[in-house]
């Protein structure tokens, strides 16, 4: 079954001192459901996974599964890390907790140099949770890998039995099409560039994974709804709202600004963890003023 709709790549909540604030996860989950999101991708890039310990990542997975048990929110656990053994440990835990799926980014310090090395690495992780769908997480801006994800899918098809597809966080739309057509189109390829969602829909995307879906899901649901109604003018207008929003957040430092925006909406996920710097109170005030002038708070209102 392929993922449809929005998958929010969730923030890891911290106390002001940088320790985990697991109590906020319940508020995060409720906010996603209220704004029309039905999947949470936890412990990924937005979740600052590379700045977390193995024990913290395990604690986050436990908490999300506790909070979402019996709800309509499905949890995909990102388990990728430079240590394949740690990744396998996280995958095994995700299966034991009853997660919907696992996903893993490639190791990025000692990088896989070939398609076969990448396939072997992902196969090692996926085998630790054989009963769950596994998604390779393609994000070359962070990993520095230049390996074609479509070549990975072709090579991995016979080697990773539970390979469901890949999370495509790349602006290479030619490669995206190669992925969606790999092995006669059997793989699920949720798109991961929020500000290019409309382009991916035109190329056949059915689902998308994004960080700004945490605080701006109504914008993207409007993009999808307008596109499927054939109203391209409205779809483009809503998509441009996303572009404007992300341009502002990026100008402040995206991670810190995104977390500050969550607090403005009543979901206090705390500061980012070093090495990412938090915004000063003055910068937060200026950001809020810019977002208000843009119309953001009206755009994301839900009844």
Query: What residues form the annotated binding site?
Result: 46, 209
Distance, in Å, from the CA atom of 119 to the CA atom of 167, rounded to the nearest integer, reads: 15
Scan for tokens 């925006």, then name that residue.
Answer: 261
Q: Let me know: does 76 contact 99? Beta carbons within 8 Å.
A: yes
**34 labelled catalytic:** no
Q: Which of 34, 109, 136, 137 is catalytic?
A: 137
Annotated binding-site residues for pyruvate read: 46, 209
Neighbours of 131 (CB within 10 A): 8
Distance, in Å, from the CA atom of 232 to the CA atom of 56, rounded to the nearest integer, reads: 43
Distance, in Å, from the CA atom of 1 to the CA atom of 14, rounded to the nearest integer, reads: 34
Element (H, E) at 102: strand 101-105
DSSP conformation letters of 224-266: HHHHHHT-HHHHHHHHHHHHHHHHHHHHH-HHHHHHHHHHHTT
Q: Exposed, middle or buried, 174 (CB in 10 Å: 0-12/13-18/19+)?
A: exposed
Scan for tokens 């810019």, then name that residue.
Answer: 290
Choose among 276, 238, 274: nearest CA to 257.
Answer: 276
Q: Exposed, middle or buried, 274 (CB in 10 Å: 0-12/13-18/19+)?
A: exposed
**167 labelled catalytic:** yes
Q: Which of 167, 176, 252, 259 is catalytic?
A: 167
Choose among 62, 7, 8: nearest CA to 267.
Answer: 8
How far, in whole angstroms, is CA 92 from its chain's centroid? 20
Provide the annotated active-site residues. 137, 167
């Amino acid at each position: 079954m392929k993922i449809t709709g929005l998958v929010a790549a969730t923030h890891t909540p911290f106390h002001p001192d940088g320790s985990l604030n697991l109590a906020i996860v319940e508020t995060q989950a409720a906010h996603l459901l209220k704004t029309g999101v039905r999947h949470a991708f936890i412990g990924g890039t937005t979740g600052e996974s590379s700045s977390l310990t193995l024990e913290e990542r395990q604690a986050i997975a436990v908490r999300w599964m506790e909070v979402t048990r019996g709800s309509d929110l499905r949890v995909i656990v990102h388990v990728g890390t430079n240590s394949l053994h740690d990744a396998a440990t996280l995958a095994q835990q995700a299966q034991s907790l009853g997660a919907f799926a696992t996903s893993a980014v490639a190791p990025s310090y000692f990088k896989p140099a070939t398609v076969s090395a990448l396939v072997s690495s992902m196969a090692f992780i996926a085998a630790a949770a054989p009963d769950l769908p596994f998604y390779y997480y393609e994000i070359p801006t962070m990993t520095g890998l230049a390996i074609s994800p479509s070549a990975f899918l072709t090579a991995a098809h016979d080697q990773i039995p539970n390979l469901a597809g890949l999370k495509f966080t790349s602006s290479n739309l030619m490669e995206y099409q190669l992925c969606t057509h790999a092995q006669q189109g059997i793989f699920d390829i949720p798109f991961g560039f929020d500000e290019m969602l409309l382009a991916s829909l035109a190329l056949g995307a059915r689902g998308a994974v994004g960080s700004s879906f945490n605080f701006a899901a109504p914008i993207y649901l409007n993009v999808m709804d307008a596109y499927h109604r054939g109203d391209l003018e409205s779809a483009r207008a809503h998509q441009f709202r996303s572009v404007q929003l992300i341009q502002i957040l990026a100008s402040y430092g995206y991670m810190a600004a995104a977390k500050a925006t969550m607090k403005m909406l009543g979901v206090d996920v705390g500061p980012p963890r070093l090495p990412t710097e938090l915004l000063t109170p003055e910068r937060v005030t200026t950001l809020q003023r810019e977002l208000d002038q843009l119309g953001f708070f009206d755009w994301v209102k839900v009844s």
